[in-house]
Amino acid sequence: MAWQSGQSLYGDRYTIRKKLGQGGFGITYLAEDEQGQPVVIKTLTDEIMNSLDDTGDHDKFLRDFEKEALSLALCRHPHIVQIENFFTHQGLPCIVMEYVAGLDLGKRLRQQGALPEAEAVRYVQQVADGLRVIHQKGRLHRDIKPQNIMVRANTQEAVLIDFGIAREFLPDVTQTHTRAATDGFAPIEQYDNQARRGEFTDVYALAATLSTLITGANPPPSFIRVVKDRFKVPDNCSAAVRTAIEQGMALEPEARPGTVGAWLTLLPSLQVQPQPSPPEPKASPLQVPARYQRLAELLKAGDWRGADAETTQQMLAVANRTEEGWLDIKSIDNFPCEDLRAIDQLWVHYSQGRFGFSVQKRIYQALGGTKGSQQKVWDAFRDAVGWRKGRKFPDITFNIKAEEGHLPLGLSCRWVGEYSGITLLF
């Protein structure tokens, strides 16, 4: 059932403004959050949900869908759309994403025709750089095509949108109702539910997208190419780009570059350099209060275990809770902001933005967390930072190579109801 303009969702946190589009799997809406900022909300069609009810896969699908959405929310990069929240409304799973104002490259092609090679390569390089972050998290996009690449208004910045996450979990019976792959951009393995997939699957779609941007025409579907391959690499481009398209669109997965990084080396290294995610704010110059000189020394020396213990000791001392050994709700609410900020800045500074309470808070909020969030959000957070890993109790790695947000542990796992050390930052 389509939602109407003005309809409120998720306890009035979001208000529908208009329907943006509908495909075989999902419906996309423009909405506003509580601050009046535009967001995009995507849910599934009634046809898909009814199919799941018929097969008895409804509950499992929702669990898998939510797990994938929460995982992708941690993929932060200037050239991939940010997933901001996940919730269920009237039985429908909903993903909240940032709103990207601009024009998708599919519309750009229809309106203006093929792009100059340099512009096409620049956009594909940007998207590929973001895609590497997704792959580092062990995920695939599965639906790269010009229509899923937005160019931000008044910029030359491309943003990859619309993850095909629903496709991965739909049972076979559902896939008879909709196409699980986009013809022309999906490699042959996406038409076989049993076939192995990997980064090379997205490489094919990247190369097909580059070919389309340069020629203005979609490549033939891979299942037709298998029978009789009439695809010709564009001849109106440089030798390097022709090689990248030819190798990236090889029919056999083994014949393609195995990673996006390997494929990128085939392209001319012109306008775009990889863009890292925005760094965490750092104090400049770094001010170290006398109380935290010892903590700074431990962090500078890379003694993460000692620094974590020192963090716990100092926070208990500040809150006058050394004897108890944990913070109660009152001491959390009254913890001095200047002390919390000083501790956090030291962790962020010496870990180069990898550890710290503010890093943990960003990850927690990316998973939809608030001060009063449900247990499943806390569990998802602990999994994301590597504290749980399927166990009830923390599995801690005192190493700079640990997951982002892994440290400090200290008081963060000394639970008081639904509160933890991260709650200090709200």
Q: How many CA atoms are closer than 13 Å to the CA of 149, on its beta-carbon side?
A: 27
Opening angle at CA 20, ends 19 and 23, nearest 5 = 100
* Among candidate residues 367, 359, 349, 370, the one with its CA nearest the CA of residue 409: 359
Alpha carbons 233 and 246: distance in angstroms, whole number: 6
Alpha carbons 112 and 104: distance in angstroms, whole number: 12
Burial class (CB in 10 A: 0-12, 13-18, 19+), 24: middle
Q: How far is CA 203 from CA 24, 60, 76, 190, 267, in A?
A: 23, 30, 20, 13, 13
Whether residue 71 contacts residue 137, with contact meaning beta carbons closer than 8 Å, is answered with yes
Alpha helices in 46-198 (DSSP H): 46-55, 58-72, 105-112, 117-136, 172-175
Alpha carbons 212 and 206: distance in angstroms, whole number: 10
Alpha carbons 348 and 362: distance in angstroms, whole number: 13
Residue 73 in tokens: 């929310």
Alpha carbons 367 and 84: distance in angstroms, whole number: 7
Alpha carbons 335 and 341: distance in angstroms, whole number: 11
Alpha carbons 153 and 285: distance in angstroms, whole number: 36
Alpha carbons 182 and 186: distance in angstroms, whole number: 6
Count how many residues are written for the chain: 426
Q: Which amino acid is at 333?
A: D
3 state DSSP class of 29: strand
Tell me the catalytic residues: 143
Alpha carbons 258 and 199: distance in angstroms, whole number: 6
